[in-house]
Chains A and B, each alone.
Chain A
Amino acid sequence: MSTPLDADLAALAAVVGPDHISTRGADQTAYSRDLWPRAQLERLAGEAPTLPAAVVWPGTAEEAAALVRVCVAAGRPIVPFGAGSGVCGGARPMERGVVIDLKRLKALRRVDEAAGTIEVEAGYMGERLERQLERRGLTLGHFPSSILCSTVGGWLAGRSAGQCSSRYGKIEDMVVDLEVVAGDGVLRRTPAYGSLGQGLDWNQAFVGSEGTLGLITAATLRVHAQPARRCFRGWLMPDVDAGLKVMRGAMQAGLRPAVLRLYDPVDTVMVGSNPDAKHGGPLAKLKTLLNEGTGGLKQKALVTALSNPRWLNAAIDLLPQKSLLVTVTEGQDAEARAEDAAIAGLARAAGGQDLGEGPGRAWLAHRYDVSYKQSKLYAAGAFVDTFEVAGTWTGLGALYDAVRRAVGDKVLVMAHFSHAYPGGGSIYFTFAGAAASRAAQLARYDAAWRAGLDTVVEHGATIAHHHGSGLSRRSHMDAEHGAGRAWFDALKQVLDPTGIFNPGKLFVPR
C-alpha cells in the first residue's frame, strides 16, 4: 500500500512518471539488500534492514540525471542499483534514501564492428548482452559467474572480473569511455583516452567507485570477434605450487589463455577431479553432506562438522595434495592451438598429468551454475561466503597457506586461483562454518572475515580482486590505501560535494 509521497519523492515521480516509483513495503524490502551473505545471517538473527524511502526506475539517462538533481536539492541519499547480485553489501541502503534501479536503461545504443566497440546502457543484463553480441559474431569476453543476474553498470561499479580475464582483461580494461552523472546532475561522457591531457584518468576514477561518486548510465566497451577455435584441457598437478608455476609461466611468456583455473586440493574434490572423492574418502563424505545436508541426521552431521573446522581443515591437510588445473585457449585456429601446446609444455614440465578435454568442457558446461544449496545450508544453521584477494606470484602460495591457517579454526576453507596476470593472480577463497546460535554464527562469520583480511594486509596483497568493497571490506580499506584515501576524499569532495551518493560505502566514514 503506497503512502502519500514527501515533496521530493513527488518530484522524483514527476521525472519518471507514477508507474516508475514505488514506496510499497514489498519493494522497499526487496531493495533493502543485495546478495551479501551477512545480510542473510542478520535477517535470520532477527535484525531489521534499513529500508529505502522509495525505489525509482528511470527510463533514460536524462531522467537519471534529473533524479540526481532532485535528490541533491532535497539531500536524499542515492543508492544506485543494478541487478542486486553484489556480495559485499554495496547496494544496501544505509540511510532512508532513494534506490535508483537502472535496469530500464537497457539499450544497446551502438555496435561499431569496425572500431570493435559497443555503446551499452548500464542496466543491460550481462547474459542478454553476450547473447546479442554472439548473434553478430562478437563477444565482450566478460563472463562473471553472476552473468545471469548482473548488469553492465554493476560490473563497472564493482571492477568485475569475468572467467576469461586472462585473455580479455577485467571490466576496467574494456572501457573506452563512460557516460556518468555526478553531483552537479550533468550528464557527461568521460574522455575516451583516459587521462591523456585531462589531468586525471576519469574512467579509472568512476570504475570501481560503487556508486559513491555518481551514476554510470552507459559505457563504450571494447568487443572482439567470437573465437574460431577453443582448446580445452585439464591437468592434475602434484600440488598447488606446481599449478601456480604453470600459470605464472604462461602469463609471463606473453600467452593469453582464456582460462587458467587452479583448484586447491579441497576444491579439486568438490569439482570431482580427485581420486579420493571417487573412492568414498572423507572429503567425498563432506561433499555429500554439503550438497545434500538438510534434515535429520544429515543436518546434524553437517552442522557438527562445520562447527569443528579445525579438525576438518587438519584432516584435509593430510590428504593427497593433487590440484586440478583447467586451461582453455581460444582465438584463431593457429593461435589457440599454439597457446594450448605451449601451456601443455609448461604443465608437463611441472609434473602435470594430462586429463584431456573433459575437465575444461565440464567447467564450460557448469560455469554459471549458482549454488542454490546455500539457502539449505543457512536453514541448517550454517553459512557460506567467499572472498577473493590478489597479489604477486612470489607471495601467492604463502598467502594461500597463511589465510587457511588464519581462518582454519573458524571455518572450513577451500580456494581456487582463477585470474592470472604476468605479475600475479587472485585467490578465491570459499568458506563455510556453523555455530549453535544465530548470534554465534554472526560472530564466527565476522571473525573469519577479519582474520582473512588482516592476513592479506599483513602480506602486502590486495584485499579485493573483483567483488569490490561495499560494506564487507570497508573496515580494511584504510589499511589497504593508507594516506592514499585522501585521493578518494578529494574525488568525493569535487564530484559529490553534498555526500548523497551511496553514503557509507567503500570506506568507513570519517
Chain B
Amino acid sequence: MITPDAVARTARALAAEGRRPWPVRGDSSKVPEGCETIDYTGLSQIRAVDVTAGVIWAEAGATWAEVEAALAPRAMTLGPLPAWLRDRMVVESLAEDDRLRPSPRYGQLTEGVLALRAALPGGQLTQASVSPRRATGPDLMRTVVGARHRAGLVTDVHLQAWPRPAAGAFVAAAFDAFADAFAGGVAALRAGVRPAAWQVARDRGDVVLAAWIVDEPGLDEAVARFQAAAGGRPSRATGGLADALAPDAEPYELLALRAGDRAAAAAFAEATRGARVLDLRPEGATVYARRGRPEHSSDWAALADAVHAALEEA
C-alpha cells in the first residue's frame, strides 16, 4: 500500500533528477523511454461510496472494473463499461484522455470526475472541493487530463455513479453509409432519446447504428421513438456493441483516431478499416479503431507542452 504523500515525495525526487513518473500496475512494458515507473498496485483501494450523492471515492490505481465492482453491491453503476476500458486504471485514463466510453446518457467516464487530487511535479498535493460544477476560474482539474502525467500524478478521484438501471434494450438500424447512420443517430438524439451506449460500425456490409437504451421513462416508448426517429432498416446486428458490453468480454485496446465534424468523420470512418464511431453528436463525431495512428495537430499541443514544462520547472 502506498499513500498520496508517498507519490508526492516520489514525484518530487524524480523531478529533481529530471525524470518523469509513470504509474503502472505491475506491468512496465509500455512505459515510455525516460520515465520511471511508480507501482500503483498499492494505491488502488475504494475509499468510500456515497450512495446518496451517487459518488464513489477511489484511489487512482483502481481499474474501471474494480470501481464498478465496488458499486455493484449497492445497486449502482458508472454506466456501461465496454471491454476496451475494463482493465485501464483511472489514472491511465485521465492521463491519456481516454474518451472511450462516450454515452449520451451518462457522458464520458473521464467527464464524471467531480474532484481529483494529484501530486504535482514539485511534490505538493492538490485538493479540490467535491462538486458537480463550479465557477472558480478555469477548470483546473482538466489540466491533468491528457497530460500524460506531466501536469501531476493523480492519486484519487471522486466519480459520479448512477442507480443501476432496472431494464434495458438493444436496438439497431442498418444504413448504406456512415453519413446516413450519423444522421439517424442525431435524429434520435433530437427526439429526446439518450442511449446509455451506442456505436456506428460496419457489420456484414451494412453500416449499423446500434444503441443500448436503459430506464427512460417508458422504455418501450423510448425504443419506438428511437426507431421512428433514426430510420434506416431494422437490424438484428449490433456491430459488436453487444459483445463489447458483455460482462465477460475479453479486454482489448481501442484508439481514438480522429475527431471532426460529421462529414469529415464519416469520410474518415468509410476509409478506416474496423472503424467504430462511439462519440456521435450533432456537431461532430469521433472515429475509433483497434489499430491506427491518432491524427492530431495544432499549435495548441505545443502550448500545452509549454504549460506542462512550466509546471515541471516550478
Contact = CB atoms under 8 A, between A and B. Distances in A.
Contact of A222 (B137, B283, B306): B283
A139 to B, nearest CB: 13
B139 A469 contact: no
B138 A206 contact: yes
A465 B136 CA distance: 8
A196 B217 contact: no
B1 interface: no
Contacts, number: 284
B217 A342 contact: yes
Q: How large is the interface on B (under 10, 10 to 19, 20 to 34, 35 or more residues)?
A: 35 or more
A390 B142 contact: no
Interface residues of A, number: 95
B146 interface: yes
B32 interface: no
A391 interface: yes
A252 B163 contact: yes
Contacts of B91: none
Given A198-B298, A335-B192, A254 B215 contact: yes
A148 to B, nearest CB: 20
Given A116-B282, A483-B120, A422 B54 contact: yes
Given A197-B146, A482-B126, A486-B124, A188 B217 contact: no
B130 A195 contact: no
Interface string B252-286: 00001001111000000000000000000111101
A114 B218 CA distance: 28
A468 B53 contact: no
A454 interface: no
A411 B306 CA distance: 47
A124 B280 CA distance: 29
Interface in B285-309: 286, 294-296, 298-301, 303-308
Given A197-B256, A464-B135, 4 more contacts: A191-B298, A199-B307, A204-B142, A494-B310
Interface of A: 112, 114-117, 158-161, 170, 172, 176, 188, 190-202, 204-210, 212-213, 220, 222, 224-225, 248, 252-255, 331-332, 334-335, 338-339, 341-342, 390-395, 419, 421-426, 457, 460-469, 473, 477, 480-491, 493-495, 506-507
B311 A390 contact: no
B307 A176 contact: no
B126 A197 contact: no
A482 B142 contact: no
Given A209-B137, A213-B138, A252-B162, A484 B314 contact: no
Interface string B101-132: 00001000000001000101010111111111
Contacts of B176: none
Given A390-B134, A462-B134, A465-B134, A483 B261 contact: no
A33 to B, nearest CB: 20
A466 B120 CA distance: 27
Most buried by B among A191, A192, A422, A493: A422
A248 to B, nearest CB: 7
A483 B128 CA distance: 9
Given A338-B221, A422-B132, A422-B162, A207 B54 contact: no
B284 A481 contact: no
Q: Which of A200, A422, A477 has the most CB of B within 10 A?
A: A200
Nearest to A227: B192
Contacts of A191: 298, 300
B127 A421 contact: no
Nearest 5 A-B pairs (CB), nearest first? A197-B296, A199-B304, A116-B282, A483-B124, A421-B132
Nearest to A116: B282
B142 A200 contact: yes
Contact of A198 (B134, B282, B301, B306): B301
B109 to A, nearest CB: 14
B128 A393 contact: no
A192 B146 contact: no
A86 B141 CA distance: 24
B296 A204 contact: no
Contact of A210 (B137, B142, B260, B310): B137
Nearest to B260: A192
A460 B134 CA distance: 13
Nearest to B310: A490
